[in-house]
Structure 1
Amino acid sequence: MLSVMTDNLVVFLLTWVVLALVYKWWKRPRHNFPPGPIGVPLLGVLPYLGDKPQETLRQWTKQYGPVMSIKLGWKDVVVINSYEAMSQGYVKQANSFSGRPSTGIFQLVDFLNWGVSFKPYDSDYKCQKTFLLKSFKDYGVGKLEVDKLINEEADIFNQYLEDKEGQLINFKDHFFALTANVVLKFLCGTRYEYKDPTAKALIHALKNE
């Protein structure tokens, strides 16, 4: 009898905790978030996005406006779905919307905390960005010489694709080769044909294979 009462008490307490967590999630403060669909606990709106999430978001925009908030799992996300709102956020208030989200995948990619691609928009990021832009400019990025090299390699690449019409090709490897040729042409004044064994060896080295 005592064991049955204990089991019932455990079930009651667990049910109460689950319901309390669901209620807290459901009635959570919005923290000045724009309106949006509530979704379900743990999953948010993920079950409702369907096969074409862009169409679902477009329909929600008609109901909640061009700026709305949704919950993807436990993550709050603000969706901007109009030119005017994007211009207001990313142009007129660029400094307020230039940060990077601190997500697990970004931390995994940048686990050594190198570079600026996934860094938060702070003084360290601004300092590194300024240094990189100056270094790129010193090496000719943005100048006509570099643009000419890129355009020449793009023309060669387009011709190569036309010659391969109707055949299966590995786009990933060819884009590696295109990028490598631009860098080699700029730094060393040379390039390799896409069929060249040296080019293939270089691609494998870049891919760390």
Structure 2
Amino acid sequence: MEISTVFLLLSTLLSILLVYLFFSANSRSVRNLPPGPWGWPILGNLPQLGDKPHQTLASLARTYGPLFHLRYGVKDVIVTTSSSVASQFLKTFDANFSDRPPSTGADIHTYSYKDMIFVPYGSRWRMLRKLCFVHLFSNKAMHIFRRVREEEMALLVGRLKNTNGELVRLGEEVNVCVADVLGRAILGKRVFGVKGKGAETFKKLIMEMLEVGVFDIGDFIPGIGWLDIQGVVGKITDIHKRYDMFLDDIITEHERSQKDDGDLLSVMIGMKKKKEDLTGEGEMITDNVIKALLGDLFSAGTDTTSSTSEWALAELIRHPDILEHLQGEIDDVVGRDRLVSDTDLPNLPFLQAVVKEVFRLHPPTPLSLPRLASESCEIQGYHIPKNTMLIVNVWAIGRDPDIWTEPLEFRPSRFLPDGDHANIDVKGNDFEVIPFGAGRRICPGMSLGLKMVQFLTATLVHSFNWKLPDGEFPDKLNMEESFGMTLQRVVPLAAHPQPRLSSDAYKSS
């Protein structure tokens, strides 16, 4: 190694150590931080998180309480595992915690924060959120695209029936359905469920984006980002380049076709051409804004829904009595001569209770997307410094024994009218179950995500009985979790679909 290179590395390490010592001394001068474990020199508590941080943080709460302090590198982090404390952050002090901390990966993926999920709180965020709400998530938009949801659900049923009972990996099949619902609403066409190189390329890109969901140590320790120690930045940059080229082709093709079926991409292209100032502050729709927003919608909207639906079916297979009860309710409302329709869902209270229980035990994002304190504040008697990162452990809140009787048991009855949590919803109003978050930065696609999980769960259990592979037993089904951008199963659910409806019911599929 050349002397100049050695000198550069030593200088970098010395600088890092000095920065760490400065920040550590500064933190010690703030005497009223929440309690928390000691961390490593320079790295702080990062090495202690393990490969399942949501479980590690839940365990730390049993020692340090429901509000505790960590240090990721040189950065302050506050973690809460309590619904009452979370409500203070996301309701009482919501305005102070409405920004996102900067992230190298997010910066690359979102064209320097031109998206809706990671964009700083302000006029651009409001503009993008309104755009998506009006054209995708409002009651009017949900009604317009009802036919799309029903058609794609029928195609899913048809694909499963045509396997003739062969073993299927459910998550993959459901992911195709969800992505094509979004594709038709956003792009005006299917993206996964069609043959061709383009669909396969897009599918691979989305999957790769979701897999790079790890902490990048360079975000927390100044001066070492250029080293890319974990190789995360290199992976993200490579994926982003391919993603960018693919979306450029999508936009160009859409513009050339001059097609406008009311899909979101057509709307955004029209707004781009008009060059309107949408916020009064010079905010306009550009190609990069379009691509960043498309990335948000597909990466956040596909895997969260498909993984939650996979968890739902796994829990129902493990609990045959609950599955039989749910099938009975749907049979009573729908019968066995047709498939479940979108309009049946409000008439299925036990289905809604099942889905709530799935969200409680298996939230799609076990740790909320982090927020950032704009100003210092005091919560629970503790000082929270400016620029502190907030993490809400949604997974731990859903399993809090102080709130839930038998918290590890799958018991949908707790949400029924005579249950002990009958009035709790999952829409951000009740902090005991917040799978979509809460407050200003609540998931904007909550209405569609909730409906899709209900629709998928109802369709899968109504249209088929599910048989595990030979030698596997429901009560022994592997339910181990894998941490990432979404809460995945370590062992994907694979089962044999066995049609249970009359032959007429499958004709539309």
Please say if residues 46 and 73 of structure 1, whose CA atoms lie closer than 8 Å, have aligned partners that are also in contact: yes
- Mapped to 1, the partners of 2:27 and 2:108 lie a distance apart of 30
- Mapped to 2, the partners of 1:48 and 1:179 lie a distance apart of 36
* Alpha-carbon shift at residue 96 of structure 1 (Å): 2.5
- Mapped to 2, the partners of 1:206 and 1:20 lie a distance apart of 45
- Secondary structure at the aligned position of 1:28 is classed as helix
Describe the shift of the 1:147–1:67 C-alpha distance in structure 2 as closer, same or farther (beyond 3 A).
farther
Larger RCO (alpha carbons 8 Å, 6+ apart): 2
Please say if residues 149 and 182 of structure 1, whose CA atoms lie closer than 8 Å, have aligned partners that are also in contact: no
Describe the shift of the 1:17–1:114 C-alpha distance in structure 2 as closer, same or farther (beyond 3 A).
closer
1:24 aligns with 22
Query: Residue 200 of structure 1 is aligned with which of 190, 195, 198?
Result: 195
Matches within 5 A, 1:17-166: 23-29=21-27, 33-136=33-136, 140-141=140-141, 143-161=142-160, 163-164=162-163, 165-166=166-167
1:11 aligns with none
**TM-score, structure 1 as length reference:** 0.65
2:304 aligns with none
- Mapped to 2, the partners of 1:23 and 1:185 lie a distance apart of 52
Describe the shift of the 1:206–1:18 C-alpha distance in structure 2 as closer, same or farther (beyond 3 A).
closer
Name the aligned partner's letter for residue 60 of structure 2.
W
- Mapped to 2, the partners of 1:193 and 1:20 lie a distance apart of 51
- Mapped to 2, the partners of 1:64 and 1:161 lie a distance apart of 48
| Identical counterparts, % of pairs | 25
Please say if residues 43 and 73 of structure 1, whose CA atoms lie closer than 8 Å, have aligned partners that are also in contact: yes
Deviating more after overlay: 19-28 vs 67-76: 19-28
Describe the shift of the 1:108–1:160 C-alpha distance in structure 2 as closer, same or farther (beyond 3 A).
same
Name the aligned partner's letter for residue 63 of structure 1.
T
Deviating more after overlay: 132-141 vs 109-118: 132-141
- Mapped to 1, the partners of 2:115 and 2:51 lie a distance apart of 35
Describe the shift of the 1:147–1:51 C-alpha distance in structure 2 as closer, same or farther (beyond 3 A).
same
* Alpha-carbon shift at residue 124 of structure 1 (Å): 2.8
Larger Rg: 1
Deviating more after overlay: 175-184 vs 114-123: 175-184
- Mapped to 1, the partners of 2:190 and 2:52 lie a distance apart of 43
Q: Structure 1 regions of 5+ residues with no counterpart?
A: 1-15
Q: Structure 2 regions of 5+ residues with no counterpart?
A: 1-13, 204-245, 248-509
* Alpha-carbon shift at residue 49 of structure 1 (Å): 2.9
Render the CA deviation track for 1:81-105: whole Å, top value 9, x for unaligned: 1122223322343333222111111
- Mapped to 1, the partners of 2:16 and 2:119 lie a distance apart of 36
Paired residues, number: 187
* Alpha-carbon shift at residue 21 of structure 1 (Å): 5.6
Describe the shift of the 1:183–1:47 C-alpha distance in structure 2 as closer, same or farther (beyond 3 A).
closer
* Alpha-carbon shift at residue 152 of structure 1 (Å): 4.2
- Mapped to 1, the partners of 2:76 and 2:19 lie a distance apart of 17
Q: Which has the higher helix share?
A: 1
1:12 aligns with none
Deviating more after overlay: 92-101 vs 60-69: 92-101
Please say if residues 150 and 182 of structure 1, whose CA atoms lie closer than 8 Å, have aligned partners that are also in contact: no
Please say if residues 45 and 73 of structure 2, whose CA atoms lie closer than 8 Å, have aligned partners that are also in contact: yes
- Secondary structure at the aligned position of 2:60 is classed as helix
- Mapped to 2, the partners of 1:18 and 1:101 lie a distance apart of 20
- Mapped to 2, the partners of 1:22 and 1:145 lie a distance apart of 55
Name the aligned partner's letter for residue 35 of structure 1.
P
- Secondary structure at the aligned position of 2:63 is classed as helix
Describe the shift of the 1:22–1:73 C-alpha distance in structure 2 as closer, same or farther (beyond 3 A).
closer
Matches within 5 A, 1:184-199: 184=184, 194=193, 199=194
- Mapped to 2, the partners of 1:24 and 1:177 lie a distance apart of 52
